[in-house]
């Protein structure tokens, strides 16, 4: 799968075996980390640097853009 921009994509945040927090930044540069007890939180990605990829084994993942990661041919060997 060629890297695909994820900005504006809506989905559901699901904690699966790991601890996740929902971080909210404040205007003064501080932030609050909220523990997540909600089981299927709907979110929309608002980040031009977010891209979808696919590992060689076919498993999809979300990471930074190819430019940020220094990927020239659009493929990451994971």
Chain-centre distance of CA 33, in angstroms?
17
* Digit-coded pLDDT (tens) for 24-63: 899 999 999 888 888 888 999 999 999 999 988 989 999 9
Rg of the chain, C-alpha, whole Å: 15
pLDDT tens for 60-75 read 999 999 999 988 765 5
Is the separation of the CB atoms in 43 and 3 below 8 Å?
no
pLDDT at 78 over 60: no
CA 77 to chain centre: 18
Which residue in the block uniquely carries the two structure tokens 């904690």?
Answer: 15
């Amino acid at each position: 799968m060629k890297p695909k921009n994820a900005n504006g994509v809506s989905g559901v945040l699901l904690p699966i075996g790991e601890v996740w927090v929902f971080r909210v930044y404040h205007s003064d540069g501080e932030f609050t980390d909220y523990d997540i007890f909600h089981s299927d939180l709907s979110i929309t990605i608002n980040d031009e640097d977010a891209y979808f990829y696919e590992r060689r084994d076919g498993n999809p993942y979300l990471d930074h853009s190819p430019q940020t990661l220094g990927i020239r041919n659009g493929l990451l060997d994971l």
